Structure 1
Amino acid sequence: MAGTDRTKKSEATVAPGPAVILVAPQLGENIGTAARAMLNFGLSDLRLVRPRDGWPNERANAAASGADLVIERARLFDTTAEAIADLDYVVATTARSRDMVKPVLTPETAARQMRQAFADGGQAGLLFGPERTGLENDDVAVADAIMMVPVNPAFASLNLAQCVLLMAYEWFKAGDDTVGERIEYLQTRPAKKEELIGFFEHLEGELDRFGFLKPLEKRPSMVRNLRNMFQRAKLTEQEVRTLRGVVAALTRRHPKGEGTPK
């Protein structure tokens, strides 16, 4: 599994989260891929209501691709009511409108509402229906809200694992504090201002020597433009050393006053 850190125990990456209730799932492979999607985002409470091909299911194990924790903990129920009995807030996922007066949420809003349920000391769950038909109206009726994914209306169908993945991601994102952008420094660090200024002075000195920073009255603005350009690059310490080496290599064969290299 690409990207998996095998030095970390699965249990350490699982925190309290919403139960994922699959009502009458058809294929073991779909259960397995849903379990994999759950564990990608730290969910482990899988509940199965009348799986068509029975349970346990070897195909589910194979399709889970290492999400054994979820498969092993999966619980079996005869009815949806039994599967959600201990929950305080339940969201039913559907691709079509229902003739019911219920809040209709986006995935992002549904995740926030479930987070709030946990913050209030309760538990939450997500209801998913069979792959071909979706949830029955009777299943939707026992939910607190409906979640509909804003997708292409001409092709709105998501497979089971896709829908579970989307909601698990939104749940995880709602409690995640990862910064939107970062730079990973490998065996280096951001350049200090002292190092940047040393590079600027080195470059400007050579440009003066070869007559680039002319006419004299334009030199200050040209220097500022060069410095701003390199500042935007957010250079590392290694990159500054490399650039200084480039400048030195390009100029060392040309004694002072010899002119611009050809």
Structure 2
Amino acid sequence: MPTGAPQPSFVLIRPQMGENIGAAARGMWNFGLDRMRITSPRDGWPNQKAVAMASGAGRLLDEAQLYDSTAAAVEDCTYVYATTARPRGLTKPVLSPEAAMSDAAERIARGEKVAVMFGPERAGMENEDIALANAIINVPVNPEFSSLNLAQCVLLTSYEWRRASADIVHERMDAEQDIATQAEVEKLAEHYEGALDTAGFFFPEEKAANMKVNLRNLWSRMPLTQHDVRILHGVMRQMVRWKERG
């Protein structure tokens, strides 16, 4: 069964290749979307090529809703977006994928039922399809090569939905080790400061205090793990032992 998470339905209008439907399912599920609707697939339904390409997201295909027209696929929705790269002479708001999915998230939070339509691979949606939409999603692609594959467009829109609807961690330490505490970094700084002081590094004397502050600042800028700290302690201990042996 579909997840209970509020989300838009993605409507594939007359898709032509089963592989693209399967790849679209993968793209949706990568970002937590599982409401797929399909109208009049050219090669029939179910489609084994779609299943093979879905690879892990086959549940979306099993639960996809099949319709015989665009109007039927969106008739229960309160707001519909149409993804298209070409101006069609229809006066509608035109949004980037980012703005559209942010708007969709707000609408869904208010209880609206939202759909995003994606046209067939060969020529995209017809004006009759786009006329059913309330707004257009236009991807800011290279104007000299503006055609997006169906699955690519679904993936891009799915990603923007995730950005708009979930708490995203934009920067983190990708490490299994625990991050070093301030106390551990302080002990490392003291170790190096003591060894460097013995070696006569802090010279001349009137600049020593400032040099020590700069060194402490260097340690504080480094996102050290506990493993990093142990290695750096070991490096300095070995250097001191080597000097003493000499």
Asked if Structure 1 and Structure 2 have the same fold, meaning a TM-score greater than 0.5 normalized by the shorter chain, the answer is yes
Question: What's the offset of the Cα at 1:65?
Answer: 1.1
1:192 aligns with 2:184: no
Question: What's the offset of the Cα at 1:162?
Answer: 0.2
- Matching residue within 202, 223, 237 for 1:234: 223
Count of residue correspondences? 246
- Matching residue within 233, 239, 242 for 1:250: 239
Partner of 1:7: none
Q: Is contact 1:88–1:117 with CA below 8 Å preserved after alignment?
A: no
1:207 aligns with 2:207: no
1:165 aligns with 2:155: yes
Partner of 1:88: 78
1:57 aligns with 2:47: yes
Partner of 1:107: 97
What is the letter of the counterpart of residue 140 of structure 1? I
Measure, in 1, the Cα distance between the counterparts of 2:21 and 2:188: 58
Q: Percent identity?
A: 49
- Matching residue within 188, 199, 214 for 1:225: 214
What is the letter of the counterpart of residue 40 of structure 2? R
- Matching residue within 16, 22, 28 for 2:6: 16
Q: Is contact 2:39–2:68 with CA below 8 Å preserved after alignment?
A: yes
Partner of 1:127: 117
Measure, in 2, the Cα distance between the counterparts of 1:166 and 1:68: 20
* Structure 1, unpaired ranges of 5+: 1-9
Of structures 1 and 2, the one scoring higher in RCO (CA 8 A, sep 6+) is 2
Question: What's the offset of the Cα at 1:92?
Answer: 0.5
* Structure 2, unpaired ranges of 5+: none
What is the letter of the counterpart of residue 46 of structure 2? P
What is the letter of the counterpart of residue 10 of structure 2? V
What is the letter of the counterpart of residue 196 of structure 1? V
1:28 aligns with 2:18: yes
What is the letter of the counterpart of residue 165 of structure 2? G
| TM-score normalised by L of structure 1 | 0.89
1:27-82, CA deviations, whole angstroms, 9 ceiling, x for partnerless residues?
11111111111111111111111111111111111111121110001111111111
| TM-score normalised by L of structure 2 | 0.94
Question: What's the offset of the Cα at 1:253?
Answer: 4.1
Question: What's the offset of the Cα at 1:149?
Answer: 0.2
Q: Which moved more, 1:204-213 or 1:128-137?
A: 204-213
Flag the structure with higher helix content. 2
1:145 aligns with 2:135: yes
Measure, in 2, the Cα distance between the counterparts of 1:196 and 1:43: 43
